[in-house]
Structure 1
């Protein structure tokens, strides 16, 4: 080795570290095969100076220094494989020494935290390095990263043959202090903020090196550095890291008490605990800060602390307590004539009013907050208030107004490069698009929100977006995808012990199970949702779950139970003056009355639903109610009225391009045409319905349309065609275990067999119809079956068949003969 001329910019660093450099060069000279050394260098600039110095010193030697930098690979896990890839292309007859830079990106420099994956791997595959990377390896790392290697990869660390600690120059430390500590922290999560965190940690490593005691004169400065790093991590939305640094700084502060800084530590710890949803700990931290402020006569933070205690009460749904805290905070701010900070409290009072469904009051508070922010030209914080004004407009179904407010919020976030805050606004834009049935647009917005949450590792916020992606998938009839998204949301809510918000996800899992005809599973999910709503005294939200429990009972033909649940839902909606959502429950009460053949009652309920939908200009959902009014008119044999209602429903579905829902209405138009003996028209409508159901892979509901196509073919005496359609309908009912619906198809197959003089088959089909009808205690259907059997038994008397009928009805042949006689005369 030859000594080279040292450049002036290296002089300060090298002069301070001459002994270390000499030891390192000797180590390099004698190292052979796999030899591991660690070089501690805390400053990025110093690392580059060291590399330059080593290259100059080794330029004319028989040693080749290969520098490998992994600073751009923070997710690196398998170091050995990465080194083999980098080194395999190198051909040299000199001794190869590998200088490894940038691994701190993957190892981390925090004293606390998860077991780094790269160190897990490093420890596990240590023995394979001798054969695959048989060269001296020099790891250049800052102090705290080296500490983590010794902690988390102790087996690998045991192989190290040298540890070289290079000191930073006083000039470099002072420059770092100026650049990192004295510079204000950004208030928006950004790369600049993260860079400042790394600089502050570098400064902390200089003042508080591993294994050494902090110099007494540096204790106050180190406490403040811990405070600034913790505060910066809060801005970066990393509350666990923030908490770790704040707690360490608070311990250090006890060596050099400072009541103002201690108060600030507890204040920021309250923020960290709140972001971690550890609300009891947050309350304790805020109250400690409040006690210190009062004890030391520091009135400045008191309004803010009261405000933050209000935030926690709001999170815990203690709305009156939250309002009391906010009003206390607001009174203090007004007494000090602190108009600017009143904005944040008006904003939160708006949140309380919104949670209490007092939307006009909420809008008023948000507008007061916005006016103050505009007055003080605080453009950045206007974003959050525009966002909330959007929430209010959304709740009031003013969707275009909501979209406008959200877009204003998003524009400001983009202007200030506040990427994190963009997530919640993309989420709400997704809500608006979903409400307007723009499902692909909604999915796109939700995905943008989710990507940002993932980017910031904000796992809790991911839950609400997974939930909404489930809503979109559900609306698009992608039920398994919907279930998957809801399960992801639920798992996160359980992980964060957010019991209250689990209710809405259990509710949606119930809707998916219901759509998949898993009725008991649906009922179970709805009951879980209802139990949580009752536990949290959320009476309003109970309404929607009672409504869905009614839907399940209705599907299971438990009509009185369904009516009871719907009435419970309706009572709550009336109590909360939620007129709009009463419509859907009146509609379902109409369905129950219709099933119970209470047609005038059904018509009345449907009309109430329709009136509300027209009042709120909800044109799309009017279609469903027009459709049901058509059903009632059809049952009352008012066929032209029925056709008119169905056509109104169909026009709306076509207007909204809802092709799937058109199928049900085409089917009913087919019914009307069939009743009016317009058989070719009926067949055309049924075929249109069937084509759509096949297009949407709605196999279950194809059964009813195949059945009706069979009826048309039967009327036209196309008996083989009729039998084919009935058999297809029956196969589907059996596939979906819909035993109840099988009865009517067995009945019609019997009629076809009878028309074809296949009396044996007719008897078999009629018996199957009768058995199912009796099993479900369907009195109306039983009357139809008995009247038919009365005629059939007269035409084709058979004592064995009569005995089979008696067995189905759990009675005697004599009683059957009497019942058939009565049916014939009814």
Structure 2
């Protein structure tokens, strides 16, 4: 997919931000200015602008376009964001005829977004293979200066996997990231109030993109020393990336990031909390991959660390997860024991949201065992908490489970339909896809009741 946007459609970067990135990289910017000036018009040449964050990249582009020395130049900015793109030249040839060339101005093409197709891992991305195959077509088909705007990892991969195309390169202009850009990215990701797994799809993808760029920033390169705080930030980024990909059921990718985090944490006691978080997340991933034995071992390792450092909140989380694992294995007694331990700790620290979730899970276990009265009591306790704290999703789930239980085990169809209807109304208000499931359950209960 190709997007060719006029300059006035791009988000304007404030003047102060443009000045900051230029002043922080004055030498690189001056070299870029010289480069675009000396390259002849109507002659192919290739350059790379290295910048890890989109905001900084766009600030550089706008500073270049607005510079007095560039007023006799026509900049065409193209976006190629499709991660499945293979043939860049084909996409360029689709849009090239639409370019309205301004007389007496040097034409310069700036290419953004191809890092998505280049990718961060794996050998010989198809697009880079094609770069090599068609490289001799560029001077013929695009007889102008082309500037690729890419993060550092993508430029490295072009050099490694498209060496023939890379040989055309006449200049690479490295722009370092100002501290305020990194701080902004951290505030929007690691320090955000909303967890990444709770984000909607577009917001989640934006967070993943920022986290990926933060990972580049905090991965040592060019001999730069890594401080202990940098290392902690890198591990936090890896953990958040893993959580994001796990929430999209991309378990192998999540595991890839968590393995890196654990390799970095090793046995450093100063990194014990981060290591335990990684072990806990990896246990969840292994559970989803069907590796139950590994999941139990990892969760127990995480719990030992959390108990040692006195992190009660995360200890309850590991107990809750272990209980779920044993419940899935059919080891009901162990599951109940772990849920009870988790419940006691949650009560101790006043984690009412977690308490409701554990009560809900215990209710399900007792329902499966046929202990209907206990199941109903636990569901009602969880429902009471969800109502107090205003958790609509939790209320809907408890209403639905109570309704099914009363219909299936008690034959109390009136009460069951009352609960199910309340669940449906909440889910419809939330526009939850679970509303359709509850509708089907209501229809079955009505049919069973002869209504």
TM-score under structure 1 length normalisation: 0.45
Deviations, residues 94-117 of structure 1 (Å, cap 9, x unaligned)? 553210123334444xx4479866
Q: Give the superposition deviation at 1:413.
A: 4.0
Residue of structure 1 in register with 2:231 after alignment: 219
Q: Which has the larger radius of gyration?
A: 1
Instruction: Please state if 1:18 is matched with 2:22.
Output: no
The answer as to whether partners of 1:143 and 1:209 remain within 8 angstroms in 2 is no
2:64 paired residue among 54, 66, 70 = 54
Q: Structure 2 matches for 1:512-527, cutoff 5 A?
A: none
Secondary structure of 1:265's counterpart equals: helix
Q: Give the superposition deviation at 1:87.
A: 1.3
Q: Structure 2 matches for 1:293-692, cutoff 5 A?
A: 293-334=306-347, 340-356=353-369, 361-389=374-402, 391-392=404-405, 395=408, 400=417, 403-411=420-428, 413-414=430-431, 422-423=432-433, 425-426=434-435, 428-429=437-438, 431-432=440-441, 435=444, 617=449
Residues 255 and 334 (structure 1 numbering): CA distance in 2 closer, same or farther, change over 3 Å?
Answer: closer
The answer as to whether partners of 1:393 and 1:402 remain within 8 angstroms in 2 is no
Q: Structure 2 matches for 1:178-197, cutoff 5 A?
A: 178-186=187-195, 188-190=198-200, 191-197=202-208
Residues 10 and 75 (structure 1 numbering): CA distance in 2 closer, same or farther, change over 3 Å?
Answer: same
Q: Distance in 2 between matches of 1:331 and 1:153?
A: 59
Residue of structure 2 in register with 1:65 after alignment: 75
The answer as to whether partners of 1:36 and 1:137 remain within 8 angstroms in 2 is yes
Instruction: Please state if 1:248 is matched with 2:260.
Output: yes
Residue of structure 2 in register with 1:170 after alignment: 179
Q: Give the superposition deviation at 1:346.
A: 1.4
Instruction: Please state if 1:84 is matched with 2:84.
Output: no
Deviations, residues 661-718 of structure 1 (Å, cap 9, x unaligned)? xxxxxxxxxxxxxxxxxxxxxxxxxxxxxxxxxxxxxxxxxxxxxxxxxxxxxxxxxx
Residues 97 and 338 (structure 1 numbering): CA distance in 2 closer, same or farther, change over 3 Å?
Answer: closer
2:146 paired residue among 137, 140, 152 = 137
The answer as to whether partners of 1:173 and 1:203 remain within 8 angstroms in 2 is yes
Q: Give the superposition deviation at 1:245.
A: 2.7
Deviations, residues 130-180 of structure 1 (Å, cap 9, x unaligned)? 544343322101223334445665554455443221112234334444444
Q: Give the superposition deviation at 1:236.
A: 5.3
Q: Distance in 1 between matches of 2:289 and 2:208?
A: 20
Q: Provide the aligned length of Structure 1 versus Structure 2.
A: 425
Q: Give the superposition deviation at 1:252.
A: 2.2
The answer as to whether partners of 1:189 and 1:235 remain within 8 angstroms in 2 is no
The answer as to whether partners of 1:326 and 1:345 remain within 8 angstroms in 2 is yes
The answer as to whether partners of 2:28 and 2:175 remain within 8 angstroms in 1 is yes
Residues 35 and 312 (structure 1 numbering): CA distance in 2 closer, same or farther, change over 3 Å?
Answer: farther
Residue of structure 2 in register with 1:681 after alignment: none
Secondary structure of 1:88's counterpart equals: helix
Q: Distance in 1 between matches of 2:430 and 2:133?
A: 45
Instruction: Please state if 1:290 is matched with 2:303.
Output: yes
Residues 412 and 197 (structure 1 numbering): CA distance in 2 closer, same or farther, change over 3 Å?
Answer: farther
Q: Give the superposition deviation at 1:243.
A: 3.0
RMSD over aligned Cα atoms: 3.8
Deviations, residues 425-483 of structure 1 (Å, cap 9, x unaligned)? 1562464388489xxxxxxxxxxxxxxxxxxxxxxxxxxxxxxxxxxxxxxxxxxxxxx
Instruction: Please state if 1:261 is matched with 2:261.
Output: no
Q: Distance in 2 between matches of 1:393 and 1:405?
A: 14
The answer as to whether partners of 1:383 and 1:413 remain within 8 angstroms in 2 is no
Deviations, residues 515-555 of structure 1 (Å, cap 9, x unaligned)? xxxxxxxxxxxxxxxxxxxxxxxxxxxxxxxxxxxxxxxxx
Residue of structure 2 in register with 1:576 after alignment: none
Greater RCO (CA < 8 Å, at least 6 residues apart): 2
Secondary structure of 2:47's counterpart equals: strand
The answer as to whether partners of 1:387 and 1:409 remain within 8 angstroms in 2 is no
Secondary structure of 2:198's counterpart equals: coil
Q: Distance in 1 between matches of 2:371 and 2:84?
A: 48
Q: Distance in 1 between matches of 2:74 and 2:349?
A: 70
Q: Structure 2 matches for 1:748-763, cutoff 5 A?
A: none
Secondary structure of 1:258's counterpart equals: helix
Residue of structure 2 in register with 1:44 after alignment: 54
Structure 2 alignment gaps of length 5 or more: 1-13
The answer as to whether partners of 2:417 and 2:445 remain within 8 angstroms in 1 is no
Secondary structure of 1:267's counterpart equals: helix
Q: Distance in 2 between matches of 1:237 and 1:320?
A: 29
Q: Give the superposition deviation at 1:323.
A: 2.8
The answer as to whether partners of 2:65 and 2:71 remain within 8 angstroms in 1 is no
Residues 331 and 169 (structure 1 numbering): CA distance in 2 closer, same or farther, change over 3 Å?
Answer: closer
The answer as to whether partners of 1:390 and 1:405 remain within 8 angstroms in 2 is no
Deviations, residues 785-815 of structure 1 (Å, cap 9, x unaligned)? xxxxxxxxxxxxxxxxxxxxxxxxxxxxxxx
TM-score under structure 2 length normalisation: 0.78
Q: Give the superposition deviation at 1:347.
A: 1.0
Residues 113 and 353 (structure 1 numbering): CA distance in 2 closer, same or farther, change over 3 Å?
Answer: farther
- Considering fraction of residues, name the structure with more helix: 1
The answer as to whether partners of 1:66 and 1:97 remain within 8 angstroms in 2 is yes
2:240 paired residue among 218, 228, 234 = 228
Q: Give the superposition deviation at 1:309.
A: 0.8
Secondary structure of 2:147's counterpart equals: strand
